[in-house]
Structure 1
Amino acid sequence: MSKRDTIAVDVPNAKALSLHERILQDLEANIVSGRWPPGHRIPYEHELTDQYQCSRMTVNKAVTQLMRSGLVQRRRKSGTYVTFPKGQSAVLEIQDIPLEVEARGQAYRYELLGRSEGEATEADRRALPVERGDTVLKLQSRHFAGNRPFCLEDRMINLAAVPDASGEAFDTVAPGHWLLEQVPWSAAENRIRAIAANVATAKLLDIKAGDPCLVIERRTWSGDSHITHVLLTYPGDYHELVAQFTPAR
């Protein structure tokens, strides 16, 4: 265990607490104080067992309580890490993901996973109401907050409404960010649901298959023209939606 991982202990209160409560309090103090910042791996359970001269069960009980409170997260074969604050999106707003990540104080990174262009299929037209024979651009990308995947983006753009998108590679700029700067939108529709990650999604988001995910499905218009359809998939422990409203009259 490194010097930085040595746990600061609140001695005056130690005698009044059970051992597992004392361990929990010490771990929380290191996290809340910022001594262990988001993304920091906390000591392994066997290290805590040695430090506190207690059973593995006692340590596990304290760490489990930290997980339930959302302060830490276990990663398979890696350890237990201090969590980052959850990203927040307003239900009735269109968020610019790069700005959303940077507002959390984390470095943003974007990765284009796939790009294709062709005539809209029947399934495409159900997702984004375009005319038969219209061409659409399909993009799959991944957004990162620090070193962790922040969300997956599966987007379809109506090239009849946004022809300039055909000439954009989208290898360095996120399509949502590009659209917000290039195309004024006049209306949008959000559908929100929870899913269990399949194997492919879990691999891309660095989570376990079956873990909960938050999916935002969005369509936008400019006047009478449909602009885009997008599915944004977030790890369930990493994002939350916020709505503010007043009483109905």
Structure 2
Amino acid sequence: MTQTRLDAVRLDGAGPIYDQIRRAVRDLILAGTWPPGTSVPPEHALMEQLGASRMTVHRALVQLAREGLITRRRRSGTIVASPPASHAMLDILSIPEEVERLGQRYDYEVLSREDGRPSAELALRFGLKRGEKVAHLVTLHRADGKAHVLEERVIHLATVPAAAAEDFSKTPPGDWLLGNSLWSQAEHAISAVPAEPDDAQLLDIGAGEPCLLIERRTWNQGSPVTAVRLLYPGSRHRFVGRFGPYGQV
């Protein structure tokens, strides 16, 4: 981690000392002077440099942590946090492009695949008819080697029969569908959910930690194409939509 210089923290003399400290550190982070991973000076060093009490410095750092700008760890100290990834809320996302826009290296792994009629549990989860034939895939997408999003998807083989012969070893299922199928209608929902133990293990987070769940279904002229559940670790992502009076802009 990059070491910081104490003299970079300069107070502006306006308002309470704790808020001056908070603003000084915040401005260094937002300006890019202290990039993600930078080591923030410890409380005792800031106290000596700024002539502030430990309680005052502690209050400033706690507020910065609440704002998501720093991460405080007992053993390794305080570092500048990585900004959460931003996503266009209603786009049909290409996950490889999403990761590449973050300047990170993308890779993925198909964890499981089953073709055929869905089980009762799978039919309930995706709103399927028991007689439908689907390809059911679970895929883990990574950014710089770390879990980025866990994908569970069903592809309706009656609508997209070519999927039966595709092993998705070179192209992840979502991107393959964008290039090999058509859709005319989509349904999109976002929920906040706690991570189930098995999912948490794959995402390298604690069981019960908050996640963002995107559920999407697409149809082509009334025929179902695919349904997908994308589970993102909540602390690493935020979703953004920009709208005008006549819809998304």
Give the alignment's TM-score, normalised by structure 2: 0.80
Equivalent residue for 2:167?
169
Shift of 1:15: 5.4
Which 5+ residue runs of structure 1 have no aligned equivalent? none
Q: 1:77 to 1:111 in 2, by over 3 A?
A: farther
Assess, with a 3 A threshold, how the Cα gap between structure 1 residues 111 and 19 changes in structure 2: closer, same or farther.
Answer: farther
Give 1:233 shift.
Answer: 1.2
Deviation at 1:9, TM superposition (A): 2.4
- Is 1:42 equivalent to 2:39 in the alignment? yes
Q: Residue 188 of structure 2 contacts residue 216 of structure 2 at CA under 8 Å; is this kept in 1?
A: yes
User: 1:87·1:101 contact (CA, 8 Å) conserved in 2?
Assistant: no
Misfit runs of 4+, over 6 Å:
none
Once the two structures are superposed, the pairs formed by residues 198-213 of structure 1 within 5 Å of their partners are 198-213=196-211
For 1:167 and 1:8, locate their aligned partners in 2 and report how far apart those are by CA, in whole Å.
62
- Among 108, 114, 117, the alignment partner of 1:116 is 114
Q: Deviations over 1:202-229 (max 9, x none)?
A: 3333333332211111111122321111
Letter in 2 for 1:159: L
In structure 2, the CA distance between the partners of 1:20 and 1:231, relative to structure 1 (3 Å rule), is: same
Q: Secondary structure at the match of 1:99?
A: helix
Between the aligned residues of both structures, percent identity stands at 37
Specify whether residues 104 and 63 from structure 1 end up closer, same or farther in structure 2 by C-alpha distance, changes over 3 A only.
same
Partner of 1:5: 4
- Tell whether 2:62 aligns with 1:64: yes
Pick one of 183, 186, 209 that aligns with 1:185: 183
Q: What RMSD over aligned residues (CA atoms) do the two structures have, in Å?
A: 3.0
> 59-68 or 185-194, which moves further after superposition?
59-68
Question: 1:36, 1:82 within 8 Å by CA — same for their partners in 2?
Answer: no
Could you tell me how far 1:112 is from its partner in structure 2?
Answer: 2.4
Q: What's 2:220 paired with?
A: 222
- Map 1:15-164 to 2 at 5 A: 19-38=17-36, 40-43=37-40, 47-53=42-48, 57-74=55-72, 80-91=79-90, 93-128=91-126, 132-164=130-162
| Cα distance change, pair 15–75 in 1 and its aligned pair in 2 (3 A) | closer
TM-score, normalised by the number of residues in structure 1: 0.80
Q: Which runs of 5+ in 2 are unaligned?
A: none
